[in-house]
Chain A
Amino acid sequence: MVDAPTAGSEENAADAFLQGGPSLRNASGPYFGSYGGRWMPESLIAALDEVQDTFEKAKADPDFIAELKDLNKNYSGRPSLLTEAKRFSAHAGGARIFLKREDLNHTGSHKINNVLGQALLAKRMGKTRVIAETGAGQHGVASATAAALLGLECVVYMGAEDCRRQALNVARMQLLGATVVPVTNGSQTLKDAINDALRDWVSNVEDTHYLLGTAAGAHPFPAMVRYFHEVIGEEARSQILEQTGKLPDAICACIGGGSNAIGLFHAFLDDASVKIYGFEAGGEGVETGRHAAAISLGRPGVLHGARSYLMQDEDGQTIESHSISAGLDYPSVGPEHSYLADIGRVTYEAVTDTEAMDAFSLLCRTEGIIPAIESSHALAGAIKIGHRLTEGKDDPSEVTVIVNLSGRGDKDVETAAAWFNMLDEEGHVKGTTLSTRKPKGPSERASGASADENEDQN
C-alpha cells in the first residue's frame, strides 16, 4: 500500500504542465476544463446569477473583505495554527508532518470559513432565510451558527439516517435556533439532503439563499466556496515558510466534495515543487464497491448542477456511496478536483475505513489530538506519502508534509468507540458503569448487566 506505481508518471505530467502552462490559481468557473457548468433547472438560473453577481461585487469591495477578515479573526479564531506533529512523524517514514489546525476554528472545522462568507452575501442580497444540507452535521452546525450570528432564519436538511447517528449535532443545531428537517427520500444521506435543499430553494428562492457546504454544485458555488477557504492555504504557506524556511514537499487533504482540500491546495497550485495529494474515502475497500472514491473509480457525469467525476451505474443512476465518515460519504466531487486530476496536478488516492481509523488512533495517542474521521483519511494518506517520499533518503526529516486537519473528532467519539470495540452490548462504553459506580475491582467488570440498572438511578 505504501508505493503507488503510477505516481511517478503523473507527477512528471504535472511538472510539465506547470513549466509550460498558465497559472492554475483563481480559476473563476463556470468551467474547469470540461467540468463544472450549470446543469440546473431554469427556475434557479436567476438565483445563481444573483449569487454570482453579489459575490463578484463583494470580492471587489474593501468593506466586505474587512468584515470577513474581522469575523475570521475575532469570531472563528483565525489564523489557525500550523502544528508540527513530531511523534506522529516517526510513523510516516520520519518525514516532518505539519498539521493545519482547522479543528481549532469556532465550531470545530474548516466549514465556518465558507458559511461566514456566504451568510454575509445572503445579507447583501436581502435574503432573510438560509438553507443548508449536512451529512455528519458539521456544515449544518456551522450554518446554524452563522445564521444565529447574523440574524437569519436557518433550515438544515439532513438524511434521516444521519440524524439518528448524529443526534447530538441535531441538538446543537436546534440549540442554535435552526430547524432540522430529516430527509427520508432515496438513500437518506447527504446527496438526498442536497436534493431536498434544492427543492426548497426552487420553491422559496425569493427570500432564501442556499448555503451549499462544499466546493461542488452549479456555478458560482465551486469557485465561490473555494474562495472563502483559500485562507487555509494562504496561512499554511506562510506558516511553513516561517517554520522551516522552505515550501513543503507535499500537502495532503481529504476529499468528499473537496472544500477543505481546494482551500489548502489553491495557494500551492503554482508551486511546481510541491506535490499535492487528495485522499478519497475508500470505504470497505475500492474492490468491494462500498466506497466513496468518485475520482478514483467514477466517470464524468452530472449531479447537483455540475459535471464532474461521479459514481454512477450503466444507466447514469447515482450509486450510493459508503464511508465510515459521513462527511466524505458523497458520490461525486467538486469539478475543480476533477480537472486537477485529469491534468495530473493533484494525485487522488483512496484510503479505506480501516486505514483512516488506524491513523485516527495514532494521532490521538502520539499527539493528544482527536481528529475528525474525515481528516483521518488525510492523515492516513500522509503516512503513505511520508514513507514514499523519504525512501532512500539519508535524512528523512528533510522531507516536509502539510496535512489539513480539517476538523476535530468530538462528533466522532461514538463511531470511534464502536469501531475500536469499546462499547458493551448495550452501547455503553465498557467499564464506565462498574468503575464509576461500583469501583470494587477488576473481577466485577465482566458482569455488567445487573449493575447497569442501578447505575442509571445514580
Chain B
Amino acid sequence: MNEPTPSKSAAAIDKARADGRAALVGYLPAGYPTVKESIEAGIALARNGADLIEIGIPYSDPVMDGPVIQAATTEAISNGFRVADVFDVVAGITAATDAAVLVMTYWNPVMRMGVDEFSRRLAEAGGAGLITPDLVPDEAAEWFEASDRYGLDRVFLVAPSSTPERLDMTVKASRGFVYAVSIMGVTGTRTSVSSAAEEVVARAHAAGAERVCVGLGVSNPDHVREIAAYADGVIVGTALVAALRDGGVEAVGQLTKNLSAGLGRAAAEA
C-alpha cells in the first residue's frame, strides 16, 4: 500500500492491533433519520467500541445495498438530506470522538460535486477517506490525484471473485485498509459468514495488504469473533441500521457494545 501521508484509518486499526484485537468498523447512513440524529448515532458508535466509522451517503440507486439500508437511505433523502450534509456529520462525530471517520459513497454524487471539491471539503471536516463500492481503481484516476492532494484514505473493495491480478492491483491502489467483501451479494444480515471471507483476506494479505477488514453479512458477536480471528477489522452495517431504526441511538450504543465483545483475538482462540 501507498502511504505518503499518515493514514487515519491505518492508525485506528493499528491502535486496536496494539490492544490485541481486531478493529470494529460501524456503518450508518448520514441523515438517517435526520442529520442531527445521525451525528448522535455516530458518536454512540464510537463511545461504545467502534474504532472506525463509515458514514454512508444516501443515494438514489444503491445497487450494493439490501432492503434495510435502502429503506433507511430512501427515508433520509425524503427527509431532505443533501450531499453536503455529510461533511457536517463527519465534522460532528470527529469533533466529539477519536474514531477515524470515513465516508462510504457511490461515485456519482462525488463526480457531481467535483472530485477535488468533495475531497477538499471531506478533509476539512476531518474525514479519514472514502470507501467506494462502485468505483474500481481502473476508473479512479481523478480520485488518486485528489486523495493524494488532501491526504485521504482510498478504500477499494476486493471480492471472492477478484482474480489474482485484480486483487494485487487493488491492494496496491488502496490506502488505509482493503475492504474484503465476505460473500457475493449485497448488504444485509445473514445467519452465517461465508467461508469465502477467510480466503479473500488471506489472499489480500498475501498480496501485501497490511490491513484487511471484512464486511457484508456481519451482524452479531459470533460473526465478529469468527472474523476477528483472521482479519484486521470487522465491518458491521445493516444490523446497526436496523438497531437505529427500531431502538434509536441507545440501541446503536448497546449493539456496538455487544459486538465489540467479540473483537479480542484471545476470545476467538478460546
Contacts and interface: CB of A to CB of B under 8 A. Distances in A.
Given A38-B139, A315-B82, A303 B61 contact: yes
Given A37-B139, A38-B136, A203-B184, A316 B61 contact: no
23 contacts: A37-B139, A38-B138, A41-B133, A41-B134, A41-B159, A42-B161, A42-B166, A42-B181, A46-B159, A47-B161, A198-B63, A199-B64, A202-B64, A202-B186, A205-B184, A302-B134, A303-B108, A305-B134, A315-B82, A315-B83, A316-B108, A316-B109, A317-B109
B97 interface: no
A28 interface: no
Nearest to B112: A316
A76 interface: no
Interface string A19-38: 00000000000000000011
A417 B61 CA distance: 34
B79 interface: no
A303 to B, nearest CB: 6
B181 A203 contact: no
Nearest to B135: A39
A40 interface: yes
Interface string A186-203: 100001100100110011
Nearest to B81: A315
Specify the main secondary structure of chain A where it touches its partner: mixed
B19 to A, nearest CB: 30
Nearest to B133: A41
Contacts of B260: none
Contacts, number: 111
B114 to A, nearest CB: 10
B110 interface: yes
Nearest to B136: A42
A289 interface: no
B59 interface: yes
B195 interface: no
A435 interface: no
Contact of B157 (A42, A203, A204, A317): A42
A39 B107 contact: yes
Contacts of B6: none
A45 interface: yes
B139 A317 contact: no
A316 B138 CA distance: 21
Interface string B17-37: 000000000000000000000
B70 to A, nearest CB: 6
B109 A315 contact: yes
Contacts of B66: 199
Nearest to B59: A317
B201 to A, nearest CB: 15
Contacts of A301: 108, 111-112
A318 B184 contact: no
A202 to B, nearest CB: 6
B162 A45 contact: yes
Interface in A203-224: 203-206
B60 A317 contact: yes
B208 interface: no
A205 B161 CA distance: 9
B77 interface: yes
Interface in B137-166: 138-139, 156-163, 166
A338 B124 CA distance: 35
Given A41-B64, A205-B184, A206-B184, A316 B136 contact: no
Chain B interface residue bracket vs A: 35 or more
Given A41-B64, A41-B133, A304-B61, 7 more contacts: A39-B136, A42-B157, A186-B61, A199-B66, A302-B108, A302-B134, A310-B108
Q: Which residue of A40, A192, A205, A314 has the most chain B CB atoms within 10 A of its CB atom?
A: A40
Contact of A316 (B64, B83, B160): B83
A185 interface: yes
A43 B163 CA distance: 10
Contacts of B186: 199, 202-203
A312 interface: yes
B113 interface: yes
A42 B162 contact: yes
A203 B185 contact: yes
A45 B139 contact: no
A297 to B, nearest CB: 15
A316 B84 CA distance: 11
Nearest to B159: A43
Given A42-B156, A42-B181, A315-B83, A191 B136 contact: no
B170 interface: yes
A301 B162 CA distance: 26
B48 interface: no
B161 A302 contact: no
A312 B134 CA distance: 17
B20 to A, nearest CB: 31
Contacts of B162: 42, 45-46
Contacts of A198: 63
Nearest to A40: B134
B74 A40 contact: no
A308 to B, nearest CB: 11
B130 to A, nearest CB: 14
Contact of B184 (A37, A43, A302): A43
Interface string A38-75: 11111111110100000000000000000000000000
Contact of A202 (B61, B82, B138, B184): B184
A429 B135 CA distance: 51
A186 B74 contact: yes
Nearest to A44: B161
A186 B82 CA distance: 17
A314 B84 CA distance: 11
Interface string B89-129: 00000000000000000011111110000000000000000
A195 B61 CA distance: 7
B60 A40 contact: no
Interface string A299-328: 001111100001010111110000000000
Nearest to B157: A42
